[in-house]
């Protein structure tokens, strides 16, 4: 590979890496501006509807507006954030019953969650889901993932700077002459 091709390749990689970082930032922050909170799906309890590694976008709703069959995101009593399907609503006790649709009893029926969820623990309902984005988000929001992203960007910037200093830009006249010859033939 010639030095100029390497320079163009590094420039392309840099552009793609920056585009990826910007896309991740947009996907993480723009939905928040419209009232959606992103959460990564970390377990298979809601497969195939919400696959592991997906990112769900949750909109805050009044617990009284939740319907049976909705996928609700809530805080479990131990503080964990969970998204499960609502199978029961008790407005008097202000509780909802939830279930992971992939969690089955011995007879094959869906197993209900062990505890009911109080209305006060409900975050909202799932509006939409983006497959695989949760894996990327979960990795990039850890310290090792963040370090890898920063290191890759730094290496691409450093390589681009070094190549800019070592390899002169192609003269405009030469590039124009090559294209003119190609058009004639």
Give the pLDDT of residue 71: 97
pTM assigned to the model: 0.70
Number of helices followed by number of strands (H, E) in the chain:
4, 8
Q: Tell me the pLDDT tens digit for each residue of 16-53.
A: 877 877 877 787 788 888 999 999 999 999 999 999 99
The span from the CA of 128 to the CA of 145, in Å, is 25
Are the C-beta atoms of 93 and 87 separated by less than 8 Å? no
What value does the mean pLDDT take over residues 145-149? 83
How confident is the model over 62-69, as a mean pLDDT?
A: 93
Count of Cβ atoms closer than 10 Å to residue 91 Cβ:
10
Which pLDDT does position 174 carry in this prediction? 54
Rounded to whole angstroms, the Cα distance separating 155 from 139 reads 19
């Amino acid at each position: 590979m010639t030095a100029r091709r390497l320079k163009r390749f590094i420039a392309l990689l840099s552009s793609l890496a920056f585009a990826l970082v910007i896309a991740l930032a947009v996907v993480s922050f723009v939905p928040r501006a419209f009232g959606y909170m992103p959460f990564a799906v970390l377990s298979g309890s809601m497969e195939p509807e919400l696959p592991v590694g997906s990112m769900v976008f949750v909109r805050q709703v009044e617990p009284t507006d939740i319907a049976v069959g909705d996928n609700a995101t809530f805080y479990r009593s131990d503080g964990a954030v969970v998204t499960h399907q609502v199978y029961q609503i008790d407005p008097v006790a202000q509780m909802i019953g939830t279930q992971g649709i992939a969690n089955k009893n011995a007879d094959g029926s869906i197993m209900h969650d062990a505890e009911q969820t109080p209305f006060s623990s409900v975050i909202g309902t799932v509006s939409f889901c983006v497959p695989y984005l949760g894996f990327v988000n979960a990795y990039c929001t850890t310290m090792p993932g963040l370090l890898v992203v920063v290191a890759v960007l730094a290496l691409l910037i450093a390589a681009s700077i070094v190549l800019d200093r070592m390899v002169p830009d192609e003269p405009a006249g030469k590039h124009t002459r090559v294209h003119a010859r190609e058009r004639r033939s």
